[in-house]
Amino acid sequence: MTVITIPTQPFQDQRPGTSGLRKRVDRFRHDNYLQNFVQAVFDTQRELVGGTLVLGGDGRFFNREAIQIILRMAAANGVDRAIVGQNGLLSTPAASCVIRKYAAAGGLILSASHNPGGPDGDFGIKFNTANGGPAPEGVTEAIYGRTLEIAEYHSIESGDVCLDQVGSHTAAQMQVEVVDPVRDYAELMASIFDFGAIRALLAGDFRMRFDAMHAITGPYAKRILEEQLGAAPGTVINGEPLEDFGGHHPDPNLVHAAELVAMTKGLDGVDFAAASDGDGDRNMILGRDFFVTPSDSLAVLAANATLIPAHRSGIPGAARSMPTSQAVDRVAAAIGIKHFETPTGWKFFGNLLDAGEIAFCGEESFGTGSNHVREKDGLWAVLAWLNVLAVRGQSVAEIVTEHWREYGRNYYSRHDYEEIESGAAEDLMAQLRARLQGLPGSLLGGLEVTYADDFRYTDPIDGSSSEHQGVRVGFNDGSRIVFRLSGTGTVGATLRVYLEAFEPHPEKQQLDPQDALASLITIANDLAQIEQRIGRSTPDVIT
């Protein structure tokens, strides 16, 4: 084997965001940008030397090429075994499953999640640690630190490894196992859910659609829903993964999954519809004429956890990210389990899951999951809903409205202002932060501010702390506004405004959320001076 060492120059822009390093694909393809980051991982994560590395991605443009580059680098850096998904594919939750199952030292996942793909789209990479979860901040900071001083990277001189078929190969001294990307994950799902009950539901007149958005979950959903659970052929739509996701934005929300939403409307609407994103970790849940907010989805699943065989004896606790609505807190308080509020980013759930403090967790950003892996998991959420629907024998709308009657309804919406000028976005947040101290006790739009802060989190397990995680303003009627800049965009900045109001009375729970939140929306716009500062009068996306 010939290891080659190639000189390179550091860049200043390789600090991973909320979920790994994401940039335009062009950036990754040139000047060793990918190689620098990967070498920084090998230089800092020394357990990979002599260990197992899991490797796969969501199939977007540049995925195959990047996998070959990384395999050559892994061999040169002393990795003992690489487990790669066939054709270079692995959904993010499946990668987490494989890391855990085969006790790998870590994994590299190639994805820019819900961001568009193709030659002009985005690419991304992130490192997951041995627990299967996104690297915690200490690790990402060490990798970033290394990228700032990198001067060379290592590779081997060899051709491409054939990824088309399942099988074993060698690259220099490294063993490369090309695995079926679905098998281990599908086995895990069958061990969690009541497949018998779901099969019976799907064998009846229940109609569903799953939109894979031409992204990674197509093969997973076809195998599990259609082949194993007997859903009618054609249940999975847009099921073929494409390098550019068919030119769409593989983001499962009401705007980007409009085709699916239309299938739930009216008398002909299907009973249940769901979608997942580019790398398979997000989910959107719909019933006939009914959208389940991700926050409500987490709360409903937590309240119904014991209907799922793997959680028959109950869950110890549940966690949500700070901007996620407080609906799950109400469930936790009512059923007597622990609940936690963490910063945005799945990595913050890792320690709580590892310590057994929680079994379910979720985020408003269409992420829901459990302790079965250490990533959010789109298909897990779909199967969890199917399991609950099958056992309860009610519609999605009946289950959610019954939930609101019992626990109260947390009206919720997120307003996104995308691709705004970064400086203006930073200034807007800075002026908000500067005003926080003076807000408690004041009246805004007739509501009294009870607290105003910049969220700071101390991890209850390892004591690490994270600051500046979003501005929260709470009011005397239980409502709340959160302001935060996205950590996943690649162009300019995205301002997210999260709005939440609580309505305990069932007779007042049927309003449209935008109407129920109208006064809070006005307060938020005034408080942050959104129009004056960024020149936008309406959000680009409302969910």
User: What residues are annotated to the active site?
Assistant: 113
Nearer Cβ to ligand G16, position 315 or 319? 319
Q: Rounded to whole angstroms, how far apart are CA atoms 473 and 13?
A: 32
Nearest CB to ligand G16, comparing residues 264 and 365? 365
Angle ∠(84,490,433) on CA atoms, nearest 5: 125
Tally of CB atoms within 10 A around 156: 19
Type and span of the H or E element at 432 = helix 422-435
Residues of this chain that interact with ligand G16 (CB under 6 A) are: 18-19, 113-114, 281-282, 321, 344-346, 363, 365, 367, 486-488, 496
Are the beta carbons of 57 and 163 closer than 8 angstroms? Answer: no
Of 128 and 235, CB closest to ligand G16: 128
Task: Give me the least distance between CB of 320 and ligand G16, in Å please.
Answer: 10
Interatomic CA distance for residues 17 and 421, integer angstroms = 18
Helix (H, G, I), strand (E, B) or coil at 141: helix
Residue (of 532, 528, 434) closest to 484 by Cα position: 528
Q: What is the number of other CB atoms lying within 10 angstroms of the CB of residue 77? A: 23
Cα separations in angstroms, 421 against 321, 413, 493, 524: 26, 23, 6, 19
| Residue located via tokens 């802060």 | 453
SS3 472: strand
Amino acid found at 75? A
What does the H/E/C string look like for 457-468?
EECCCCCCEECC
Residues in CB range of 426: below 8 A, 6 or more apart: 485, 493
Partners of residue 20 on adjacent β-strands? 17
- What is the closest distance, in whole angstroms, from the C-beta atom of residue 115 to ligand G16 in the complex? 7
> Please, what is the minimum distance in Å from the beta carbon of residue 175 to ligand G16?
30
Closer by beta carbon to ligand G16, 72 or else 347? 347
Token digits for 71? 């395999």
CB of 113 to ligand G16, least distance (A): 3
Q: Which is nearer to ligand G16, 195 or 346 (CB)?
A: 346
Give the residues across from 169 on adjacent strands.
Answer: 176
Whether the CB-CB separation of 488 and 113 falls below 8 Å is answered with yes
Cβ 269 to ligand G16, closest distance in Å? 27
**Residue 342: CB minimum distance to ligand G16, A:** 10
**At residue 501, what is the residue type?**
A
Q: How far is the CB of 414 from ligand G16 (least distance, A)?
A: 9
Spatial separation of the C-alpha atoms in residues 333 and 502, rounded to whole Å = 16
Minimal distance in Å, beta carbon 264 to ligand G16?
A: 23
- Return the DSSP state at 506: G
Structure tokens at 408: 């109260």
Cβ neighbour number for residue 477 with a 10 Å cutoff? 14
Nearer to ligand G16, 100 or 496 (CB): 496
CB of 488 to ligand G16, least distance (A): 3
Other C-beta atoms closer than 10 Å to the C-beta of 2 total: 9
Nearer to ligand G16, 133 or 317 (CB): 133
Q: Which tokens hold the place of 424?
A: 């203006």
Give least dist CB 375 to ligand G16, A: 8
Give, in degrees to the nearest 5, the angle at Cα 441 between 437 and 447: 120
The Cα 401–Cα 390 span in angstroms is: 17
> In angstroms, what is the C-alpha Rg of the chain?
23
How far is residue 365's CA from residue 113's CA, in Å, rounded to a whole number? 12
